[in-house]
């Protein structure tokens, strides 16, 4: 297992996701981890704006955070549909 870090110019931390390669060489990452990452990134952006971080446009951050949440929701819905045998 390896990890991929996503550095941020505004936060001195990295977000790490476990990366798992199956026996065919296909990269596997849990969908729950991806949707959580998307929501976490949006939340951190919002906190930076609230803290007065220079160089961040509040409207742009809000719009991007909404889009990340929508993508996370679509991933979650697709996984629920898949696990229940329904169409995505």
CB atoms within 10 A of CB 75: 16
Q: Give the pTM.
A: 0.67
Domain range holding 15? 2-84
Which residue reads 């936060």 in tokens?
11
pLDDT for 5-58, tens place per residue?
A: 444 454 445 555 566 677 887 767 888 888 999 999 999 999 999 999 999 999
Contact indicator for 64, 80 with CB cutoff of 8 Å: no
Contact indicator for 49, 27 with CB cutoff of 8 Å: no
Distance in angstroms (rounded) separating the CA atoms of residues 58 and 12: 21
State how many domains the chain has. 1
Contact indicator for 47, 6 with CB cutoff of 8 Å: no
Give the model's pLDDT for residue 6.
41
Contact indicator for 11, 48 with CB cutoff of 8 Å: yes
Query: Which positions ≥6 away from 7 have C-beta within 8 Å?
Result: 14
Band the pLDDT of 61: cuts 50, 70, 90.
very high
Give the model's pLDDT for residue 32.
86
């Amino acid at each position: 297992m390896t990890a991929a870090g996503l550095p941020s110019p505004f936060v001195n931390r990295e977000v790490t996701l476990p990366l798992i390669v199956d026996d065919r060489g296909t990269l596997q990452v849990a969908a729950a981890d991806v949707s959580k990452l998307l929501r976490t990134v949006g939340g951190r952006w919002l906190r930076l704006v609230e803290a007065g971080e220079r160089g961040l446009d509040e409207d742009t951050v809000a719009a991007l955070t909404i889009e990340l949440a929508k993508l996370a929701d679509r991933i979650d819905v697709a996984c629920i549909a898949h696990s229940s045998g329904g169409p995505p």
